[in-house]
Chain A
Amino acid sequence: MNSIKSFLFFLLFTALCAGAVFGVLDSKHAPVASIGPFQITTSENGLSLMQNNANEYFYFSPYQDSITYSTGEKTGLITSDDIKNKNVSTYLPTSKWDVLFKNAENYFGFSSPHMEFVTDKKISYSSEITSQKLTVKRTVVLKKGKIPKGDMSLSFNSGDFVFDKTGKLYSYIDSETKDLFEKTYRITLSPTLEDLYPRLSEKTVFIYSPKLSGVIAVKAQKNQTIVIDRNARTIHVEEAPRFINGSYEDSITIHILNTIKEAWEAK
């Protein structure tokens, strides 16, 4: 049979098949990866921890992070000027093929959620999961300047318990819910109201939502310090970022525990 004719019909057939795939409706659900009872997913704000289809999210986002330049100037990673001047680009997959491919990659477990932002800096968040430990890395590429100090943050929600292993409670909780927690889990919590931005000496802080199951444990590594912004409802992990291959790298380590008992008894 004529090879050219065969080839032309093959091209036509391939084009039809490509067109067929173009018609399929992609999932309305963003790719997720699981860690225990939680999942991590991407959104326009960054990465977020969530649980099943409940509307409670815990964000890793450049909109709530900050960096301190070597000049001593501390600034948000994305500033209000960036937003006002529409100087922020996010890299969510937009083309049909990208979306389909990334969804398939995620379904088969070949990728973990990650997200990129571009302003006058290039900011990316990536996730790495090992068993019930999640490490979220942030890399920042500057056009100029140096960052001797940065912080990455994780947001929490109104009504969430934020407490450490000594029983100090850092979030605002109504007395009825606090009593229920103490009675159910036999843990006494002491509210610390004197400081809006407590800087913790403890290396671990827990987040527990009365609307969800499981516990999020934010674990500071050796050179990291945990600072809580009670009003903004964010937990910041401060450190001197590592400068690797032209970019500054920070990370937050999260352990997900199935129960309060497990969290309390863990080392």
Chain B
Amino acid sequence: MIAILSSLLFFLLPIFLGRPFMRFFYRKELTYPFISYFMVGSILLYLALFAGFALKQFVPLFGGFSLIQEIIFILSFILLPLNLIVSQDDIDVRSYVLPVGISAALAGVAFGIWQLHSPYSLNWDLYEHQTLTNNILGGKINILPSSLTDTFGFNGYSTLFHSLIAASQAFFNMSILSYWTTISFFQLMLAIFASYLFTKEVTNSKFIAFIASLITAFAFDSSISYTTLFFIPQAFTALIFVFLCTQLISEAKSGRVMNTVLVAFSSLFLFINHYIVGSLAAFSYLASYFYIRFSQVIEKRVRTQHLLMTGLFICLIGIIFSSSIPLGFINSGEAQDYALNLMDKFNIMRQSYGYLLLLLLPLGIFSVISSKKRVEILALSILVFILSIVLMQLPYTVKFYTLGRFFVDAFLAIGAYALLKRMNVFFKVLSVGVLTTTLLGIFITNTIAWKGILRYQDSYVQISDDEVHAAEFLRTTYPSSDVFLVSDPATQNILEPISGVNSQGGAYTSKETRKILSELNRAKDTKEIMKDLYRIKDKIGSTKGKRLLILSGRYFQWQKSLETQKMAFSYNVWNPSSLTLRDIGYIDSLLTDSSHFRLLYLNKDVAIIEATQ
């Protein structure tokens, strides 16, 4: 229950902070105003955090509360009551009941299938994001993630996303893992709802919109983009993007021109949430805005078909020749692992959609070209543009699919409708049943294939109950203590955010640290192990404190891996592993040096040893 309240606060708090502020400064009518309220409220909260941090250096605010709690108190005190004073939004709430209800139901089914036999969230990235969030909860703030924790070596986004998470967690004492599972459900529900609204605005058809929402619910882009089921900055940015596009189209259809300042602000919001995905989102959003705003001028000078064909030609050239651009060196060479060719991308498509994309997308595109409706042609242009970039044979381009998938789902729905509209009601209903069964079959197969590697006893998990208990032991034994956690990257990654005990880089521990960790395995005696442990240093915080050596089943599995695997960011022991007799033998040999090594905690999966110099 607490996790539900906390997750809802992520979305609702910025809305109710932003609403009175925006209603005061922006008096014009606006469709889907909640998205603008959310962005404004988020930025207000974020700026207030920085202001509070600066002010606190000189003036103590309330005693006994953390910085973020104080900021929320102040903002809420000022802004929340104003929601009752400002004029009400002109929203027909009843018209949203059915779509929201259907979105929740579809999300429930999809999420239930996804989380079956998985008691914890399967989002591996949650651990690094929670580590960053913990720093904000602890009173620190910086726009660069790498300045708050060395888990982030690359600043791909600001800390706005994490500030909002921190704001939603600040007043609750709850299981972090429950929070992330719950908020992932809301992410999925909002993605389905966004797909419905977007398709409805593009096609003016609730039925086509419903089909699009079915597709969004059960087509999970399970490689690199992860839009619907992983609550991560790029997916969050995509959600904002599709709501903004929906608003833009709706305003254009109502004959209103959106305020340029609001459009610029929205574009900036997209950018700061994810610099790479957000840049493309902002560019697409701005291009759409300018096209809508100046469409009459543009169409006088250039024929839309010529523009489209030219764009298509450029995209095709880009796809064909992009493989010869060497960008694998990016992000310390990790980019090479994400430089996928067309066959790889074809297989990713098959994993998520089967052949549905190949069969229905051409139908949808043909329908739109035949209809010549301006809004649909605009949506098609954005689809072609984003898909072209996704298909380019450059590193990380599949990430952009997170933006494109809402357009793909809309066009798949249009393609399906091209056939459905030729049926009577009876066969239409049957066909929706057939489509639902198809999508469920693809989704279940996709889920089984993705989760297979995570088998641990009777579950599919990235963290075991025993590992959670070990983290909780650390949290209660070492609250705010100067101790330093050392283990394999995966164990560090999962223990650090739940325990609050710092490690060097979590899953993204540096190459120097990986070399030292690997050398631990070859150490001749306990003196050498001790020396190695204290050579490991955090890149940001102090590391004068005791070392806690975490010997987990994962750690021993990692030590048995190839040296090249140990040095790679992309390699991890993804699922838990229990300690074996051989592992226990190693632990026992370490403990013979009782003057330096002391066993603090032991369960089936984890041993925690205090190493004192």
Contact = CB atoms under 8 A, between A and B. Distances in A.
A12 B581 contact: no
Interface string A1-41: 10101110110111011111111111111001010110100
Interface string B419-443: 1101110110011001101100110
Contacts of A100: 441, 445
A104 B423 contact: no
Interface residues of B, number: 52
A103 interface: yes
A234 B479 CA distance: 52
A12 B430 CA distance: 13
A212 interface: yes
Interface in B539-567: 553
B354 A14 contact: no
B455 A24 contact: no
A1 B424 contact: yes
Contacts of A9: 419-420, 422-423, 427
Interface string B102-144: 0000000000000011000000000000000000000000000
B396 to A, nearest CB: 22
A20 B438 contact: yes
B176 interface: no
Question: In this complex, which of A32, A107, A209, A212 has the most chain B Cβ atoms within 10 angstroms of its Cβ?
Answer: A107
Contacts of A18: 438
A21 B354 contact: yes
Given A26-B445, A100-B441, A107 B116 contact: yes
Contact of A24 (B427, B437, B441, B585): B441
A214 B458 CA distance: 14
A52 interface: yes
B424 A213 contact: no
B604 interface: yes
Contact of A13 (B419, B447, B581): B419
A28 to B, nearest CB: 7
A211 interface: yes
Which of A16, A108, A183 has most B Cβ within 10 Å?
A: A16
B111 to A, nearest CB: 15
Contacts of B441: 21, 24, 100, 104
A76 interface: no
A13 B432 CA distance: 10
A22 B355 contact: yes
A12 B448 contact: no
Contacts of A1: 422-424
A177 interface: yes
B427 A34 contact: no
Contacts of B579: 213
A7 B427 contact: yes
B584 interface: yes
A36 to B, nearest CB: 7
Contact of B423 (A10, A19, A32): A10
Interface in B344-402: 347, 350-351, 353-356, 358-360
Contact of A6 (B359, B426, B575): B426
A37 B351 contact: no
B113 to A, nearest CB: 9
B455 A32 contact: yes
Interface string B440-469: 011011111100110111100000000000
A53 B566 CA distance: 18
A53 B351 contact: no
A233 to B, nearest CB: 18
A24 B445 contact: yes
Contacts of A53: 453, 455, 575
A213 B604 contact: yes
A83 interface: no
Contacts of A34: 457-458
B580 interface: yes
Most buried by B among A3, A6, A14, A177: A6
B303 interface: no
30 contacts: A1-B424, A5-B422, A5-B423, A6-B423, A9-B422, A10-B423, A13-B416, A17-B356, A17-B438, A19-B355, A20-B442, A21-B441, A22-B355, A23-B355, A24-B353, A24-B441, A25-B347, A25-B449, A26-B449, A29-B455, A32-B455, A52-B457, A53-B453, A53-B455, A104-B445, A181-B581, A184-B585, A208-B581, A211-B580, A213-B553
Nearest 8 A-B pairs (CB), nearest first?
A23-B355, A29-B452, A213-B578, A34-B458, A20-B356, A23-B354, A24-B354, A210-B581
